[in-house]
């Protein structure tokens, strides 16, 4: 539902943006025909959103700031050097104080418990902008990008036997004139090669529920496998058996429509750099690896970014298989959809009114 809403917001916002926002090569350039002119949602008019970031960010921060502007609101970037949090003030008190003046909190934290604590004590909704365990807004951008590029994936069923039929999304139209539908996506085989970190964890809890197959390769060591809270969630969702896990990257990419990786050294793991570079030898995504492993001939590539060359070589990263930059662009539209629904129309959501 959020992806369909992001698609709608993208279409309705584009005519209001400077033309370079849809320059060739951007994901907005896919939206060729200008839709009928309508006002994008102004649900954040006169509202302030706190961006509480204790770690670095390019995409998530820029997406959140630009999305807030489009929704008519104001984003306050509160980095770790800017406010009392973590030095003179507890998470609990900061959540209450910031939540007393802003209409939403988008927080990038270290340990996942920190976001739980913020959410527990904030009077307004708190959205996870990345934690040690999860990166939920990333998988939303990935899904929008996959739908937009659905025609790149050949119509053959995947190995799990799913027929190539995806649910047709509901037409999401307001006002006069029809907007193009979000293209349906057939079930894909998604291979992830790399560290079991926040980005993968959201893929694990998302893709199987949408009918996609997921295959993972990470080095033979417990610390590179999904931690207990992630497995607990998979068990709770009843999808833990749908995940194929191996230490062999070639085995993981077998039959893949899409190959994904992330950094081998997530923020906060810098001290482990040397060991990790050693442990992930052989995990670089390359044409050769995917050919030897038997990925589908037209496989595509995604990465949340930032990227290092040891994870994926330039041929794949900058080549025609790569969807990484449309994927990055779509951080904005999917975060905009979340902000619109959770921060802008929260009262309607609470009252379960039609939004
Ligand atoms: N993908 C992502 O979250 O990037 P940033 O760390 O730049 O926000
Ligand atoms: N796994 C990475 C994702 C960055 C967007 C990290 O946590 O640093």
pLDDT digits (tens, 9 = 90+) for 5-41: 999 899 888 888 888 888 888 888 887 666 667 777 8
Alpha carbon 209 to its chain's center: 16
Q: E strands of the chain, at which residues?
A: 48-53, 74-79, 104-108, 126-130, 189-193, 213-217, 243-246, 258-261, 300-303
* Distance from residue 160's CA to the centre of ligand 1 (Å): 32
Q: Which atom of ligand 2 is nearest to the CA of 262?
A: 1
Q: Which of 267, 305, 331 to mutate to test the pocket of ligand 2 (most atoms within 8 A of CB)?
A: 267
Name the DSSP letter for residue 210. G
Indicate the pLDDT class of residue 162, thresholds 50, 70 and 90: very low
* Distance from residue 266's CA to the centre of ligand 2 (Å): 5
- The burial of 169, by beta-carbon neighbours within 10 Å (0-12 exposed, 13-18 middle, 19 or more buried), is given as middle
Residues 335/285, Cβ–Cβ less than 8 Å: no
Assess whether pLDDT exceeds 90 at residue 142.
yes
pLDDT at 34: 63
pLDDT digits (tens, 9 = 90+) for 301-327: 999 999 999 999 999 999 999 999 999
- Identify the bridge partners of residue 302 per DSSP, sorted by sequence position: 260
**Stretch 126-137: mean pLDDT, rounded?**
98
Quick one: CATH architecture of 2-21+32-134+330-350? 3-Layer(aba) Sandwich (3.40)
Measured from CB, residues less than 6 Å from any atom of ligand 2 are 130, 197-199, 262-263, 266-267, 304
Quick one: CATH architecture of 188-322? 3-Layer(aba) Sandwich (3.40)
Nearest CA to ligand 1 atom 7: 58
pLDDT digits (tens, 9 = 90+) for 323-344: 999 999 999 999 999 999 999 9
Which helix (H) or strand (E) segment holds residue 65: the answer is helix 59-70
Q: Please give the model's pTM, rounded to 2 decimal places.
A: 0.92
* Distance from residue 34's CA to the centre of ligand 2 (Å): 35
* Distance from residue 46's CA to the centre of ligand 2 (Å): 32
If you write DSSP's letter for every residue of 222-239 in order, what string do you get?
Answer: GGGS--HHHHHHHHHHT-
User: CA 76, CA 280: separation in Å to the nearest integer?
Assistant: 38
pLDDT at 33: 62
Q: Which of 57, 77, 260 to mutate to test the pocket of ligand 1 (most atoms within 8 A of CB)?
A: 57
Residues 150/10, Cβ–Cβ less than 8 Å: no
Assess whether pLDDT exceeds 90 at residue 250.
yes
Boundaries of every domain in the chain: 2-21+32-134+330-350, 188-322
Q: Which atom of ligand 2 is nearest to the CA of 195?
A: 1
* Distance from residue 30's CA to the centre of ligand 2 (Å): 27
pLDDT at 156: 57
Tokens describing residue 268: 């906060």
Q: What percentage of the chain has pLDDT greater than the value 70?
A: 91
pLDDT at 66: 97
Q: Matching CATH topology for 2-21+32-134+330-350 and 188-322?
A: yes
Tokens describing residue 259: 């190959």
Nearest CA to ligand 1 atom 1: 304
Longest dimension (CA), the chain: 58
Task: Report the SS3 class of residue 286.
Answer: coil
- What is the ipTM, given to two decimal places? 0.99
Residues 164/186, Cβ–Cβ less than 8 Å: yes
pLDDT at 176: 53
pLDDT at 21: 82
**Stretch 207-234: mean pLDDT, rounded?**
97
User: CA 141, CA 304: separation in Å to the nearest integer?
Assistant: 9
Q: Which of 132, 202, 262, 264 to mutate to test the pocket of ligand 2 (most atoms within 8 A of CB)?
A: 262
Q: What percentage of the chain has pLDDT greater than the value 90?
A: 76
Task: Report the SS3 class of residue 263.
Answer: coil
User: CA 58, CA 325: separation in Å to the nearest integer?
Assistant: 13
């Amino acid at each position: 539902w959020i992806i369909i809403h992001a698609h709608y917001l993208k279409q309705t916002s584009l005519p209001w943006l400077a033309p370079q926002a849809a320059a060739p090569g951007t994901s907005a350039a896919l939206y060729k025909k200008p839709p009928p002119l309508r006002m994008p949602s102004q649900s954040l008019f006169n509202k302030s959103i706190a961006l509480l970031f204790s770690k670095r960010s390019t995409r998530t921060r820029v997406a959140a700031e630009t999305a807030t502007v489009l929704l008519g609101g104001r984003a306050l970037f509160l980095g770790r050097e800017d406010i009392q949090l973590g030095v003179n003030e507890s998470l609990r008190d900061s959540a209450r104080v910031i939540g007393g003046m802003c209409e939403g909190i988008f927080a990038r934290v270290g340990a996942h418990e920190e976001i739980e604590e913020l959410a527990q004590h904030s009077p307004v909704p708190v959205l996870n902008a990345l934690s040690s365990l999860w990166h939920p807004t990333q998988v939303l951008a990935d899904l929008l990008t996959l739908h937009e590029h659905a025609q790149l994936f050949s119509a053959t069923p995947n190995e799990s036997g799913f027929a190539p039929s995806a649910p047709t999304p509901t037409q999401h139209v307001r006002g006069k004139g029809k907007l193009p539908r979000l293209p349906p996506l057939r079930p894909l085989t998604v291979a992830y090669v790399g560290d079991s970190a926040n980005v993968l964890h959201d893929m694990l809890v998302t893709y199987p529920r949408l009918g996609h197959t997921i295959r993972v390769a990470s080095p033979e060591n417990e610390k590179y496998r999904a931690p207990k809270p992630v497995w607990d969630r998979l068990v709770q969702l009843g999808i833990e058996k749908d995940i194929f896990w191996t230490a062999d990257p070639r085995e993981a990419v077998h039959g893949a429509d899409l190959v994904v990786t992330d950094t081998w050294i997530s923020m906060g793991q810098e001290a482990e750099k040397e060991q990790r570079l050693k442990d992930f030898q052989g995990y670089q995504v390359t044409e050769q690896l995917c050919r030897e492993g038997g990925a589908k001939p037209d496989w595509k590539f995604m990465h949340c970014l930032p990227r290092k060359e040891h994870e994926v070589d330039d041929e794949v990263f900058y080549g025609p298989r790569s969807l990484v930059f449309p994927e990055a662009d779509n951080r904005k539209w999917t975060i905009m959809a979340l902000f619109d629904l959770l921060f802008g129309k929260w009262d309607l959501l609470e009252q379960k009114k039609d939004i």
